[in-house]
Amino acid sequence: MRIRSVALAACVVAPALISGCQLTGTTADVSKGKTLFVSKCGSCHTLARAGTTGVTGPNLDAAFERARRDGFGQSTFAGMVEHQIKYPPRNAQLDPQTHKALTRMPADLVTGAAVTDVAQYVAQSAGNPGKDTGPLAAIGGKKSQGTAREQNGTLSIPVVQGGQLAYEFAIARATAGNVTIESKNPQGTPHNISIEGNGADVKGAVVQNGGTSKLTEKLKAGTYTFYCSVDGHRQAGMVGKLVVR
130 shares its domain with 110: yes
pLDDT, mean of each 10-residue run, the chain (245 residues): 44 37 65 92 90 87 90 91 87 58 75 95 95 91 89 96 89 97 94 96 96 97 97 91 97
Q: Point out the domain boundary residue: 112, 138, 164.
A: 138
Residue at which a domain ends, from 117, 138, 159: 138
Domain boundary among 115, 138, 161: 138
Position 1 scores a pLDDT of 58
Separation between Cα atoms, residue 157 and residue 184, nearest integer Å: 7
Domain match, 174 and 134 both:
no
Predicted local distance difference test score (pLDDT) of residue 99: 58
- Same domain? For 32 and 133 the reply is yes
Say what the pLDDT of residue 238 is.
95
Domain enclosing residue 177, as ranges:
147-244
What's the number of domains the chain is made of? 2
Q: What pLDDT is stored for residue 29 in this prediction?
A: 95
- Considering the domain architecture, whether residues 123 and 209 belong to the same structural domain is answered as no
- Please indicate, yes or no, whether residues 108 and 219 belong to a single structural domain of this protein: no
